[in-house]
A and B are shown apart, each in its own frame.
Chain A
Amino acid sequence: MSSGRCAACRYLRRRCTQDCFLSPYFPSNNPQRFASVHRIYGASNVTKLLQRLPTHLRSEAADSLYFEAQCRLEDPVYGCVGLIFLLQQQIHSAESQLIKTQAEIAVMKSQTQHPQTQPFRAISGSNNLLLQQSDNDANLIFSNQVSSGFI
């Protein structure tokens, strides 16, 4: 029954049996899914990869393979690794911003507690201004920078 073929068997132009291994993960209503995965990994590799897994994990594995295949098709040089580096960059940037902001808070709080030592001055976000404050708390925060550290 050609109309009942899964996306994999339709793409590979073969008969789709009742116990077709790939049909649960590549339904006929999404031909693009198998096309992408096949283009990057190949049907036999995908089958081998999924066969090595317990049945209850195969669906998620197929999803992740599809995602990575799509990333690779969009970016043939870096694939999903490009996303990893972008996220690492975002983490580094957010950490730096957080450290800076926490230092500003420390300075502002110390000025609130000891207003006689220094008049309040709105923090512009400039690093130079923070360094001129020579606040011990700010120095501690800067010296305790957390590195992003890839897993």
Chain B
Amino acid sequence: MGSGSSPCASCKLLRRRCAKDCIFAPYFPSDDPHKFAIVHKVFGASNVSKMLQELPVQQRADAVSSLVYEANARVRDPVYGCVGAISYLQNQVSQLQMQLAVAQTEILCIQMQHHQEDSALALPTQMQHHDDDDYKPFLLPTTHNLDNISQYINFASSSNVIQDPAATVKRESLWT
């Protein structure tokens, strides 16, 4: 994109000749100078160049988008950057998981109540034909079964991802 036309935003900012094979040109067009400016401010042009060079061409656009995102987050919040957003979202996940656990517990309680009512209405002789192990969680009229409720509760997919920064997330392109 560099030859014959205006230099890309990077070369314009860096005040250098925009070569034909300029690594920045496809991702930092001249009509959006702010995009490169912010990435350069946080990461530095040479670091960005090194990062892009280490990636296959088809992944560079996404990498640039994520770098721009991180740089914007860092400028907005110089202390926490993206980590602030991650903490906030992780909190939301935890709260929702708790709400979900409460709701699922409520369902189990209602189901247990219904089963108890149903079994109370059934003729006593019918109950003897069943294996107690099959109905144990529901027939006992006491609250002891509430201790086993946790085994029935399905939590959402794993939280606590933030505590393991080594977790790698493979994603499809999100910016097309």
8 Å CB contact of B168 from A75, A102, A151: A75
User: Main secondary structure on chain B at its contact with chain A?
Assistant: helix
Give Cα A98 to B96, complex, Å.
8
| Residue A95 is within 8 A (CB to CB) of chain B in the complex | yes
A-B contact count (CB 8 A): 155
Give Cα A85 to B139, complex, Å.
45
Convert B23-57 into 0s and 1s, putting 1 for each residue whose CB lies closer than 8 angstroms to a CB of A: 00000000000000000001110110001001100
Contact B168 A74 (CB under 8 A): yes
Q: Find residues 52-96 in chain B having any chain A CB closer than 8 Å to their own CB.
A: 54-55, 59, 62-63, 66-67, 69-70, 74, 78-86, 88-90, 92-93, 96
Give the number of residues in B that approach A within 8 Å (Cβ atoms): 56
Q: How far is the CB of B168 from chain A (nearest CB, A)?
A: 5
Given known contacts A42-B44, A68-B70, A85-B174, is B82 in contact with A74 (CB within 8 Å)?
no
Of B2-10, B12-20, B124-132, B158-166, the one contacting chain A is B158-166
| Residue B97 is within 8 A (CB to CB) of chain A in the complex | yes
Contact B51 A76 (CB under 8 A): yes
**Residues of chain A whose beta carbon lies under 8 Å from any beta carbon of chain B:** 39-42, 44-45, 49, 52-53, 57, 60-61, 64-65, 67-68, 70-72, 74-88, 90-91, 93-95, 97-98, 101-102, 104-105, 108-109, 112, 120, 122-123, 151
